[in-house]
Amino acid sequence: MKTEKIVEKILLIFALSATLVIFLIIIFLFKEGLPILKKEGLGFILGKIWNPGKEIYGALTFIVGSLSVTFLALLIAVPLGVSCALFLAEIAPKRAESLFRPVIELLAGIPSVVYGMFGLIVIVRFIKVSFDVPTGETVLACSIVLAVMILPIIISVSEDAIKSVPRIYKEGSFALGATHWQTMKRVILPTASSGITASIILAMGRAIGETMAVVLVLGNVEMIPKSLLNPAEALTSVILLEMGEAPVGGTHYQALFAVGIILFIIVMILNIISMKIGVRKK
């Protein structure tokens, strides 16, 4: 019995490791970033000017950049993704379904640098040529790439939600004479809406946190984009691009950690919302 107790204690520590890491991350993020936030206050979030040379740090540009590409990506991916989910759950023949499943998994598995490469070489070029803009590195390009990256999340979680709609509801609707589409529109989608919303929230979290694809395609311009065809910069990109430079412990370093805090908080809020909406079906 003694060995069992020891093993149990060890395994408990292992199990708590994830939580421990979270705490460490929070500690390190806040240890470095909080002083700057305190000093700049609300100005950090609302300030438009980011000038490490003059020690002015305002992250609004990047917040707008990240949010705009995320929302546009959702605009593209949600209709497409939910349609696919409906297809898979409701009308796909068995063969098609098993053929399509690897498609989603592969799309989800492709590394973000590869998406970035594809985005830079194909989509950026395409936009430059089709829209006759000075550069194709734009909000639009980034949103398209992000949309493809978040499609798998939306499809799989929405599909799960749709499949969880009790058959009784569907059968009842058919019994009352509704067509398949009417059933989908009036019964299935509303019932599955919480799951679908959860998938959207998850997708948002992923899009906001994406780094490599965004930094290659968005242009990294320290300006709030005025249109879809303007370049911009995201919270993740500024950390990636400037992290190398900042002297450890200096204000620039702290400011980048502060950006990390903002990112962390946004993602955490989204995470909690999605958990509340009940992604886990158990």
- Map the footprint of other proteins across residues 1-60, applying CB under 8 A: 1, 3-4, 7-8, 10-12, 14-22, 24-25, 28-29, 32, 49, 51-53
Q: Any contact of residue 177 with other proteins (CB under 8 A)?
A: no
Q: Using CB under 8 A, pick the residue from 75, 275, 276, 278 that binds other proteins.
A: 275
Shortest distance, position 194 Cβ to other proteins, whole Å: 14
For residue 66, give the nearest of 271, 265, 255, 246 by alpha carbon.
Answer: 265
Helix 189-209 crosses helix 60-86 at what angle (to 10 degrees)? 140
Contact between residue 61 and residue 139 where contact means Cβ atoms under 8 Å apart: no
E strands, 61-102, where?
A: none
CA–CA–CA angle 88, 94, 95 (5° rounding): 105
Q: Is 218 exposed, middle or buried (0-12, 13-18, 19+ CB in 10 A)?
A: buried
CA distance 85 to 181: 14
Shortest distance, position 187 Cβ to other proteins, whole Å: 14
CA distance 57 to 9: 46
Question: Considering only 37-45, 68-76, 167-175, 261-269, which stretch makes contact with other proteins by CB under 8 A?
Answer: 261-269
Contacts with other proteins by CB under 8 A: the residue count is 123
Handedness of CA 139, 141, 146, 152 (dihedral sign): positive
Shortest distance, position 190 Cβ to other proteins, whole Å: 16
Per-residue x/- track, 200-229, other proteins (CB under 8 A):
--x--xx-xxxxx--xx--xxxxx------
Shortest distance, position 116 Cβ to other proteins, whole Å: 7
Shortest distance, position 166 Cβ to other proteins, whole Å: 17
Question: Considering only 36-44, 67-75, 164-172, 198-206, which stretch makes contact with other proteins by CB under 8 A?
Answer: 198-206
Residue linked to tokens 């949010």: 67
Residue/partner pairs of 180-187 with CB below 8 Å, 24 or more apart: 180/90, 180/91, 184/86, 184/90
Nearer to other proteins by Cβ, of 87 and 169: the residue is 87
- Provide the token pair at 210: 């994406």
CA distance 195 to 193: 5
Question: Considering only 37-45, 67-75, 167-175, 273-281, which stretch makes contact with other proteins by CB under 8 A?
Answer: 273-281
Interface residues for other proteins in 102-141 (CB under 8 A)?
Answer: 102-118, 120-122, 125, 128, 134-135, 137
Q: Using CB under 8 A, pick the residue from 63, 197, 231, 258 that binds other proteins.
A: 231
Q: 231-250 as b/e, with b when 16 or more CB fall inside 10 Å?
A: bbbbbbbbbbebeeebeeee
Nearer to other proteins by Cβ, of 42 and 244: the residue is 244
Interface residues for other proteins in 148-167 (CB under 8 A)?
Answer: 148, 151-153, 155-157, 159-160
Shortest distance, position 41 Cβ to other proteins, whole Å: 21
